[in-house]
Chains A and B, each alone.
Chain A
Amino acid sequence: MSWEFVLKWLPKLLQGATLTLELVAVAVVLGLILAIPMGIARASRSPYVRALPYAYIFFFRGTPLLVQLFLVYYGLAQFDAVTQSAFWPYLREPFFCAALTMTLHTTAYIAEILRGAIQAVPPGEIEAARALGMSKGKALLYIILPRAARIGLPAYSNEVILMLKASALASTVTLLDITGMARTINARTYMPEQTFFIAGLIYLVMSFVLVQGFKLLERYLRVDASQGR
C-alpha cells in the first residue's frame, strides 16, 4: 500500500466518517426514545396493548434494512399524496430517508431489548416498591426503568455497533458515508483493495472507540455491581 494513496484519500474517507457518525447518532438516540414506550407496551400483560408493537417489531426485524430503506427512499414517491404533501422536501432527501429508516429499524430492536430487560427485573423488587405504597407509574419510573436500563445496557451497546455497520447501507441511496466514499474513490482510482481496506480500518477504529465508551458508561452506572441478586 502506498502512503501517497492513503494521504490523498484519507481526508475524504474521514469526511465520510462524520456522515456515518451523524446517521448512527441520530438513529440510536431517537431509536432509544421511541423504543421506551414501545418496549413498555411490549412487556404489558394485556394482549391488546402488546399486539401493535409486536406487529411493528415483527415487520422491522423480519425484513432486511435494505428493503426498508428502498421502500422509504424510492417507494414513497409512488404515491401522489406523498409527493404533494408538506413532508416531500424532507422525504426527497437521502440523508433524511436514511436517518428515518435506520431510526425505525433500530427502534424495533431496542424495544425488544427493553422488553427483555423489563421482564428480567426481579419481581421481588417490583413487589417491594408496590408494598412501600408506590403507584404503578412511580414504580415504573423509579424502580423498573432504572433497573432495566442497567440490565439492557450491554445489549444496547451491541445494537449501537450493529447500527454502525448497518449505516454502510446509506451508500446505496447515494449518500457519501464511509462506504459511499470508498465506492466513489474505487470508481475513480480502481484500487479496490486499498480503498476498502482503509474504509474497513476506519470502521474498526470507530467500533473500538464505541465499545470502550460503553465500557466506561457501564462502570459509571455500576452495571456489574447492580446485577447481584
Chain B
Amino acid sequence: MNFDLQGFGPALAAGVLMTIQLALSALCLGLVLGLLGALAKTSPNRALQWIGGTYSTLVRGIPELLWVLLIYFGTVSSMRAIGHVFGIPNLSLSAFAAGVIALGLCFGAYATEVFRGAMLSIPKGHREAGLALGMSRSRIFIKLVMPQMWRIALPGLGNLFMILMKDTALVSVIGLEEVMRHAQIAVTTTKQPFTFYMVAAFMYLGMTALSMIGLAWLERRASVGFTRSAS
C-alpha cells in the first residue's frame, strides 16, 4: 500500500479549507439560532415557548442528512418563485448555502438546550440585582446573563462543534467540494478508494484534534478565577 496522493494533495487541501469555512459559517448561524431558541424557550410568552420547543424537537428528531437534502432540493421551487418576484431568473440556493442552513439549523436546535441550561443555572439574584440597579431587561441579558452563560455553555457547545465538524461530510452528498467530495473525485480517477478515504479520515482526525486543543484553551480562558475556588 502506498500513500502516494498522485497530484490530488492540493485539491484535498482546498477541500479542508472549504470544510472549515462551512463549519464556521454553520457555527455562526447555529449560535444565533441557539440563542434565539433558548430565549424563546425561557420567555414567559406561551407562543414563543411553543415556537422554541417545536424548533428544537422537530429539528433534533430528523436526520441531518435529510435536512441537507430537504433544504437543497426542497427550496428549489420556492426560491424560483422568490426569484420571479424580484426579477432574478433561476434563483437557487448553492450547495454551500444549503449546507450552512441545514447544519446551522441542526446545531442551533441542540445549542438551544445548551444555552437554556446555562441560562437557568445563573442565580436569580443576579437578575434581581440588575433590576434593582434600574437596568432594562435586554441590558440585563447582555451585560449580566450572557457573559456568565458563556463559561457554562462552552463545554456543551464544544461537543456540538465536534459533531458539526463531522457532519460537514454530509454536504458532499449534494456536491459541495469539501474534503469528502474531493476524496470521491480522486477515487474515481485513481481507483484507490481505501487510500483516499483514509487520507480524508486523517484530515478529519486532524481537524478534530485541533479543535479539541482550541476548545481546551477557550475553556481555560473562560474559567479564569473559577478554577481555584472550585477546589
Contacts and interface: CB of A to CB of B under 8 A. Distances in A.
Interface residues of A, number: 40
Binding site of B, secondary structure by majority: helix, strand, loop or mixed? helix
A70 B204 CA distance: 14
A93 B70 CA distance: 28
Binding site of A, secondary structure by majority: helix, strand, loop or mixed? helix
B166 A65 contact: yes
B215 interface: no
A167 B66 CA distance: 11
Interface string B184-204: 100100011111011011001
B62 interface: yes
A68 interface: yes
Interface string B160-191: 00000011111011000000100110010001
A179 B69 contact: yes
Contacts of B209: 62
A63 B192 CA distance: 19
A165 B62 contact: yes
A36 interface: no
A113 to B, nearest CB: 13
A192 B79 CA distance: 13
B63 interface: yes
B77 interface: yes
Given A75-B194, A168-B65, A64 B166 contact: yes
B66 A74 contact: no
B70 A204 contact: no
Contacts of A77: 193
Interface residues of B, number: 38
Interface string A117-143: 000000000000000000000000000
Nearest to A58: B205
Nearest to B193: A74
Nearest to A68: B201
B173 A67 contact: no
A166 interface: yes
B73 interface: yes
Given A75-B197, A204-B58, A63 B204 contact: yes
A59 interface: yes
A182 interface: yes
Given A71-B197, A186-B73, 6 more contacts: A67-B201, A75-B193, A76-B194, A77-B193, A168-B66, A203-B63
Interface of A: 58-59, 61-68, 70-71, 74-79, 164-169, 171-172, 179, 182-183, 186, 192-193, 196-197, 199-200, 203-204, 207-208
8 contacts: A66-B172, A78-B193, A183-B69, A186-B69, A192-B73, A196-B69, A197-B70, A200-B70
